[in-house]
Amino acid sequence: MISSLIESLLSNPVASVYALVGFALFGLTLQPGLARRYHINLPAVYIALGAIATLLGFPSISPLGSELQAGIITHASEMIVIVSLTAAGLAIDLKAGWRRWNATWRLLAITMPLTIIALIILGQWAGLGLAGAVLLGAALAPTDPVLARSVQVGGPGEDEDPTRVALTSEAGLNDGLAFPFVWAAIALAAGTFDWTHVIAYDGLYRVGMGIAIGWGVGWILTRILYSTLGDARNDRSSPLIVVLAATFIAYGLAEFVHAYGFLSVFIAARSGRKHSPDTKMRKADEPAYASAAHESADQFEGILMVVLLLWFGSFVAAELWHQWQWTDLVIALALLLIVRPVAGYIAMIGLGCPNSERMKMAFFGIRGMGTIFYIAYAQTHASFDDIDAVWRIAGLCILISVLMHESLAGWMFNRSRVAIPTGAPETADNHPV
């Protein structure tokens, strides 16, 4: 009976994929109710479903299969990352500042470079060439804004404790700041590496222009949004359309001038929150439009996440699991259990917060969709001799990260949720980090 059912499903793979995605999306609606009683590692469930479907014979695409398939994975992962970055930018209530975001700057300036250096060394130890090792370090060093939902702030007015703020803002910024290292790997693979170009153009210009465009887009669109014609003043508002429009405008304009769109969309969201009239007035309850916009972005991100996790499971089953080597496991465990925690803890030395919170910020460096995008992007811009090994190692890192971090996050974070007191001003006193 089971074999006949499988044969029936495989006889119409398109319909079967629709049904699989539909059931997976419906599962998202059950998560809040189930979470009140159990902590379910939903990303791991979706990865397992994708893997099982592929092992049963469902069709799968691979970035190693063809240039077209690599392009599809590049743009699909690109889409979910930029939407996730917008959601992260909208979620944080605490205004940015050197003292308020002290932990964030430490994670970006100390933890990420140390992680990249360690991964380059580990990659070359495992036999990767310099270009492949640099790509591995650049792709795996950033924390993921998509799969880190369980350790991030919950939205405007929710879960605004210092650790969540640090991890959310780190994920929002480090995806863009890792791009110069990706371009360095591309240049090494193409034989065109030049220090001056990497520092001045890929580093300073692209980062600076990405921040400037994001800030300007957020400011201008927010002024229009809250004008008499704007969506925020409309009884039949469409926050999802506004979120997507702002995300695509910020990303598109940044990419048009060869700046980093990842930075632009996160900064645009932060600029929008800063210049929102509702935020400035600090009403007794959290601004309704900001909450609606974040919820819309979060839901759209969830839809994309389900699809890509199902794909990742199929990729693991079809391409990766039978190729994994013991050196891949050593690198994955070293990154997740030693490199990130140690580099994170070094960055937090001297930070005025409880040691338990310092350990959380150091440990929960979740890897995911950003890593997939960076490798696929680099693969479509240069020829890497060892790109299959880069995918193999990165895939194992992502899988172990999902299994480990997502399983532990509910237990370690849900015990210490801290909400912002209603109407409390955004000051450093409320957020010691």
Read off the pLDDT of residues 50-64 as tens digits, 9 standing for 90 and up.
Answer: 999 888 888 788 998
In the prediction, which pLDDT does 283 show? 44
Architecture in CATH for domain 67-416: Up-down Bundle (1.20)
Neighbours of 15 (CB within 10 A): 10
In the prediction, which pLDDT does 413 show? 65
Q: Which two tokens stand for residue 27?
A: 């599962």
Buried b (16+ CB within 10 A) or exposed e, 297-328: bbebbbebbbbbbbbbbbbbbbbbeeebeebb
What does the alpha-carbon distance between residue 186 and residue 382 come to, in Å, rounded to a whole number? 6
From 196, 150, 216, select the one nearest 409 (Cα to Cα): 150
| Regions of the chain where pLDDT drops below 70 | 1-13, 32-38, 157-159, 278-287, 410-433
First vs last C-alpha separation in the chain: 59
In the prediction, which pLDDT does 176 show? 85
What are the start-end ranges of the H helices in 204-287?
206-225, 239-256, 261-275, 277-281
CA atoms within a 13 Å half-sphere pointing along the CA-CB vector of 333:
6
DSSP 3-state of 203: helix
What predicted TM-score, i.e. pTM, was given to this entire model? 0.88
Measured CA angle at 396 (ends 395, 402), to 5 deg:
90
The residues that bridge with 242 in the sheet, in sequence order, are none
What are the start-end ranges of the H helices in 348-383?
355-363, 369-379
Contact 235, 209 (CB under 8 A): no
In the prediction, which pLDDT does 186 show? 96
Burial of 213 (0-12, 13-18, 19+ CB in 10 A): buried
From 341, 432, 430, 433, select the one nearest 157 (Cα to Cα): 430
Read off the pLDDT of residues 355-411 as tens digits, 9 standing for 90 and up.
Answer: 888 888 999 888 889 999 999 999 999 999 999 999 999 999 999 999 998 878 766
How distant is the alpha carbon of residue 104 from its chain centre? 15
Contact 24, 312 (CB under 8 A): no
Cβ contacts of 202 within 8 Å, gap of 6 or more? 179, 180, 183, 184
How distant is the alpha carbon of residue 61 from its chain centre? 22
For the chain, give every domain's residue range.
Answer: 67-416
